[in-house]
Amino acid sequence: MITLFEQKKTQNLLLTKLLFTPFMNNKLLVSFVLVLVSFVWAGSFIVVKTVTEEIDPIDLGFLRFLVATPIMFLVLLIRRKDILIPKKELPSLSILGLTGVTLLYLFQFVGIKYTNASTSAVLINTNVIFIAILSAFFLKETFGRKKISGISLSFLGVIVIIFSNTSLEIFPSGDIFFIGCVLILLSAFCWAVYSIVGKRLLKTYDMFTVTTYAFALGTLFYIPFVISDIIVTLQTVTIGAWMAVLYLALVCSVFGYIGWYYALKKTEASKAAVFLNLIPLFTITMSLFLGEVITVFFLLGATLIIFGVYITQKS
Is 8 part of a structural domain of the chain?
no
- Per-residue model confidence (pLDDT) at position 18: 43
Whether residue 234 is contained in a domain is answered as: yes
Structural domain contains residue 10: no
* pLDDT reported for residue 5: 46
Boundaries of domain holding 244 = 32-314
Question: In the predicted model, what is the mean pLDDT of the chain?
Answer: 85
Q: Which residues are CB-contacts of 311 (< 8 A; sequence separation ≥ 6)?
A: 146, 147, 149, 150, 153
Compute φ and ψ for 32, nearest 5 degrees: -60, -45
Q: Is there a domain that residue 23 lies in?
A: no
Q: Residue 244 — pLDDT band, cuts 50, 70, 90?
A: very high
In a domain, 183, yes or no: yes
pLDDT at 229 exceeding the cut of 50: yes
End-to-end CA distance of the chain: 62
pLDDT value of residue 174:
56
pLDDT of residue 90: 95
Residue 46 lies in a domain: yes
pLDDT above 80 (res 273): no
pTM of the entire predicted model: 0.84
Amino acid at 173: S
Give the count of beta carbons closer than 10 Å to the beta carbon of residue 145: 8
Within 10 angstroms of residue 204's Cβ, the number of other Cβ atoms is 11
Select from 102, 105, 82 the least CA-distant residue to 202. Answer: 82
* Dihedrals phi, psi of 273, to nearest 5 degrees: -65, -30
Residue 118 resides in a domain: yes
- 22-26, 104-108, 228-232: least confident range: 22-26
Mean pLDDT over residues 69-89, rounded?
A: 88
pLDDT recorded at residue 45: 95
Q: How far apart are CA 200 and CA 88, in angstroms?
A: 13
Does the pLDDT of residue 8 top 60, yes or no? Answer: no
> So what's the pLDDT on residue 62?
97
Neighbouring C-beta atoms of residue 96, cutoff 10 Å: 24
Task: Give how many domains the chain has, as a whole number.
Answer: 1
Domain-located, residue 11: no
The pLDDT of residue 19 is 43
Q: Which residue has the higher pLDDT, 179 or 293?
A: 179
Is residue 182 over pLDDT 90? yes
Percent of the chain's residues with pLDDT above 70: 88
Q: How confident is the model at residue 11 (pLDDT cuts 50, 70, 90)?
A: very low
Say which residue, 112 or 128, is predicted with more confidence: 112
Q: According to the model, what pLDDT value does residue 222 have?
A: 97
**22 pLDDT band (50/70/90 cuts)?**
very low
